C-alpha cells in the first residue's frame, strides 16, 4: 500500500503540474515540451514533498489507521515548509536549467496536492476501518494483551474466542468474519491444527494472523513472547550477514553520508567547540566506551555536555543534548566504520553488561552495527542516565523495575528493526529523526 500511495501521489502531482501549467501558460510553445522542460525543476519539488510526507507519517499506514488530532496541524506545517523551500529552490532551479518555470503556479499546485493528500488518507482510513470482526483462537500472554486492547477500540470487534481448534463447532458462521487471530504457540503445535485452520478459515477467504504478527503490525515492536521466541532469527539468519547486499549498500551509504555532511557540520562543530571552551571551560571533545557490532567495544566521539567526572550538565549541555548537537563528532565514528547512520544506539559498557545479565535476549540488538539514530529513539523515551555505581544497586525495587521495563521496551523496538531492517526503513528513520528532536518524551508511546 505504501508504494501504491507513492505511485498515486506521483501521478496526481505531475497531472496537476501539467494541467495548471497548460491552463495558465501564455508561452507560445508546445504544451508537452513546456511541461517536460518544467519537470526538470518540479521533480525535485516532488521529492521534497515526499520526504516531508514521510517525516510527518503520511506514508505510515498504522498511523493513518489511528485517530490523531494533529493531522490538520501536520499537513499545514508540511505544506508551509514545502512552499518555502520549493519557492526558494525553484528560483535557483529555473536559473540552473534555464527553464521559464511559472513560479506563481507553485502555490496552486502545492495547495491542491496537499488537499488531495489529506482527502486520500481520510478515504483510505474510512474504507479500511469499517469495523473488523475477529475470531481469536488459542491462549498466550500476547493474545490476552491484544484482546484487552481490541475490546477498548471501535475499529475491531471480537465476535468469538476459542482456546483450541477442537472447541470450534462445525456449524460456525464465518460469513461476516474478517480476521482469525491465532496464538503462535497453537499454530506451531502440530500439522493437524494447521490443516484444520486452513480448511475452516483460510480456504474460505478468512485472513489469518498470529498474535505475534498482529502485535508487530499494531505497535511496530516485538511482544515479550515473540522476543523470547527466536524462530524468526533462525529462519532469516542470512539477512543478518554483514556481507549481504543490504549491508554492503548500507556501508557505502554511511560513508557517502558522512563525507557529504562533513563540510556542512564542520563550521557548526567549530563554533560549538569554541563555545564549550569559552563558556563551559571544559575539554570540548571526549571519547566514551560503548558497545558495537557483536558486542565489541568502540570509542564513541561526542561533544562534552556534562561537567568532567560528574553527572551534572554543563551550561551548554542541556541545549546540545536537546537538539542532539553533541553527537555531531560521531560523523568521525561513521567514517571510521564502527558506527552506522541508522541502527540501535550503542550502550555504555556498564548498562550493556547489566542488561545482558537480566534480559536473556538483550544481545540480539548487537546483531547489527549501532547507529547515530534508531527505531527505538523515534518511538520511545530516552533512557534515564545512571552512574556506574547506581546501576547495580538501585535506590528501591520500584526504580529497578522501571529501569528494566523501559529497557525491555526499547529492546523490543530495536529487535523489530533488526528483524525488519531494510534500506527504505533506514531512510524513513533518517527523515523522521529531524522531527523527533522536537517531540517530547512524554508524547511518545509508553
Q: Decide if pLDDT at 130 tops 50.
A: yes
Q: Where are the domains of the chain?
A: 2-128, 132-219, 239-443
What confidence score (pLDDT) does residue 60 get? 77
Beta bridge pairs of residue 207? 179
Q: Is 421 helix (H, G, I), strand (E, B) or coil?
A: coil
Phi, psi of 420 (to 5 degrees): -110, 10
Determine phi and psi for 394, rounding to 5 degrees. Answer: -80, 160
Mean pLDDT of 422-441: 80
Domain range 132-219, its CATH number among 3.40.50.2300, 3.50.50.60, 3.40.640.10, 3.40.50.1820: 3.40.50.2300
Provide the pLDDT confidence category of residue 278 given band limits of 50, 70 and 90: very high
Is 393 or 320 the better-scoring residue by pLDDT?
A: 320
Distance between CA 404 and CA 246 in Å, rounded? 32
Of the candidate ranges 108-112, 230-234, 362-366, the one whose mean pLDDT is the lowest: 230-234
Give the number of residues written for the chain: 446
Instruction: Of 235, 239, 223, give the one whose Cα is nearest residue 412.
Output: 223
Query: Does the pLDDT at position 33 exceed 80?
Result: no
Closest to 305 in 3D by CA, of 319, 288, 291: 319
The three-state DSSP-derived secondary structure of 152-198 is CCCCEEEEEEECCHHHCCCCCCCCCCCEEEECHHHHCCCHHHHHHHH
Q: Which residue has the cell 456449524?
A: 171
Instruction: Kindly indicate the confidence band of residue 101, based on its pLDDT and cuts at 50, 70 and 90.
Output: low
446: pLDDT strictly greater than 50: no
Distance CA 164, CA 143 (A): 13
Q: Is the pLDDT of residue 23 over 50?
A: yes
Residue 36 CB partners (closer than 8 Å, separation 6+): none
pTM, to two decimals:
0.81
Give 166 or 292, the one with higher predicted confidence. Answer: 292
User: What contacts 422, CB < 8 A, 6 or more positions away?
Assistant: 246
pLDDT digits (tens, 9 = 90+) for 308-328: 877 788 999 988 988 889 999
Residue 306 DSSP label:
B
Q: Is the pLDDT of residue 97 over 60?
A: no
More confident call, 99 vs 313: 313
Amino acid at each position: 500500500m505504501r508504494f501504491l500511495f507513492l505511485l498515486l501521489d506521483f501521478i496526481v502531482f505531475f497531472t496537476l503540474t501539467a494541467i495548471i501549467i497548460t491552463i495558465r501558460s501564455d508561452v507560445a510553445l508546445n504544451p508537452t515540451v513546456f511541461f517536460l522542460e518544467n519537470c526538470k525543476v518540479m521533480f525535485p519539488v516532488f521529492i521534497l514533498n515526499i520526504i516531508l510526507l514521510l517525516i510527518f507519517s503520511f506514508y505510515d499506514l498504522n498511523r493513518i489507521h489511528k485517530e490523531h488530532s494533529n493531522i490538520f496541524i501536520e499537513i499545514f506545517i508540511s505544506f508551509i515548509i514545502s512552499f518555502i523551500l520549493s519557492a526558494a529552490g525553484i528560483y535557483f532551479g529555473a536559473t540552473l536549467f534555464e527553464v521559464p518555470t511559472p513560479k506563481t503556479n507553485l502555490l496552486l499546485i502545492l495547495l491542491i496536492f496537499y488537499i488531495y493528500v489529506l482527502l486520500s488518507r481520510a478515504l483510505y482510513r474510512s474504507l479500511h476501518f469499517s469495523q473488523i470482526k475477529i475470531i481469536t483462537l488459542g491462549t498466550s500472554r500476547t493474545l490476552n494483551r491484544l484482546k484487552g486492547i481490541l475490546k477498548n477500540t471501535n475499529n475491531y470487534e471480537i465476535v468469538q474466542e476459542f482456546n483450541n481448534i477442537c472447541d470450534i463447532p462445525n456449524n460456525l458462521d464465518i460469513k461476516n468474519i474478517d480476521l482469525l487471530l491465532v496464538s503462535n504457540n497453537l499454530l506451531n503445535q502440530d500439522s493437524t491444527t494447521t490443516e484444520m485452520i486452513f480448511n475452516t478459515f483460510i480456504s474460505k477467504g478468512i485472513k489469518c494472523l498470529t498474535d505475534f504478527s498482529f502485535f508487530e503490525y499494531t505497535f511496530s515492536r516485538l511482544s515479550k513472547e515473540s522476543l523470547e521466541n527466536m524462530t524468526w532469527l533462525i529462519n532469516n539468519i542470512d539477512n543478518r550477514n554483514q556481507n549481504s547486499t543490504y549491508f554492503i549498500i548500507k556501508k557505502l551509504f554511511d560513508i557517502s553520508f558522512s563525507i557529504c555532511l562533513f563540510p556542512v557540520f564542520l563550521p557548526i562543530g567549530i563554533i560549538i567547540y569554541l563555545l564549550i571552551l569559552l563558556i563551559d571551560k571544559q575539554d570540548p571533545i571526549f571519547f566514551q566506551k560503548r558497545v558495537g557490532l557483536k558486542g565489541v567495544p568502540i570509542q564513541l566521539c561526542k561533544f562534552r555536555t556534562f561537567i568532567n567526572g560528574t553527572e551534572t550538565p554543563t551550561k551548554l549541555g542541556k541545549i546540545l543534548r536537546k537538539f542532539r548537537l553533541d553527537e555531531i563528532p560521531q560523523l568521525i565514528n561513521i567514517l571510521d566504520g564502527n558506527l552506522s547512520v541508522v541502527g540501535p544506539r550503542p550502550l555504555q559498557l556498564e548498562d550493556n553488561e547489566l542488561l545482558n545479565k537480566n534480559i536473556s535476549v538483550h544481545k540480539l540488538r548487537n546483531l547489527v552495527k549501532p547507529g547515530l539514530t534508531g527505531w527505538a529513539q523515534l518511538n520511545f523515551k530516552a533512557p534515564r542516565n545512571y552512574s556506574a555505581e547506581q546501576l547495580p544497586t538501585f535506590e528501591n525495587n520500584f526504580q529497578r523495575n522501571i529501569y528494566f521495563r523501559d529497557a525491555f521496551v526499547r529492546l523490543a523496538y530495536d529487535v523489530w528493526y533488526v528483524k525488519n531492517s531494510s534500506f527504505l526503513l533506514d531512510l524513513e528513520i533518517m527523515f523522521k529523526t529531524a522531527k523527533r528532536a522536537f517531540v517530547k518524551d512524554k508524547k511518545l508511546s509508553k
